Amino acid sequence: MKTVDIYTDGACSGNPGPGGFGAILMYKDNKKEISGFERDTTNNRMELTAAIEALELLKEPCEVNLYSDSSYLVNAFSKGWIYNWMKNGWKTESKDPVKNEDLWRRLAEKNRVHKIKFIKVKGHADNEYNNRCDFLATNEIKENA
């Protein structure tokens, strides 16, 4: 099974507001950057979208190291929140509907296909790939909003 490193970031100008995402996929010596824009969204939706869009580019099941500065994204998997949400019919512990269920469902499906390790990185720090993803995301907002 191939091992792929993916860095992701999402950004929003206002919350909600115009948003962008960026991701970098790396396999051996190959590197691919992607980014996108949504006119009316939230920061959390852009964080999830970055991961989904990157994972959807993989053509076969892979081992994935997915790096994100989003605690929302990383903790959902590393702390098992998403598994409880699925088990509880996409409801939180307090029985409220899970926000961004549509995106969480897509991520859960990708997590069944790929062996994904979600890794938290410090945002806006010294990680060149996280900083590049932040640039890609914020640049989408500048160019499209």
| Catalytic sites, residue numbers | 9-10, 47, 69, 124, 134
- Number of helical (H) and strand (E) elements in the chain, helices listed first: 5, 5
Would the pTM of this model clear 0.85, i.e. be above it? yes
Q: Are 39 and 130 in contact, with CB atoms under 8 Å apart?
A: no
Q: Over 90: is that where the pLDDT of 73 sits?
A: yes
C-beta neighbour count of 71 within 10 angstroms:
13
Distance (Å, whole) CA 125 – CA 19? 21
- pLDDT score recorded for residue 105: 98
Q: Over 90: is that where the pLDDT of 123 sits?
A: no
Q: Which two tokens stand for residue 4?
A: 């792929």
Average pLDDT of the residues in 54-83: 97
- pLDDT score recorded for residue 1: 93
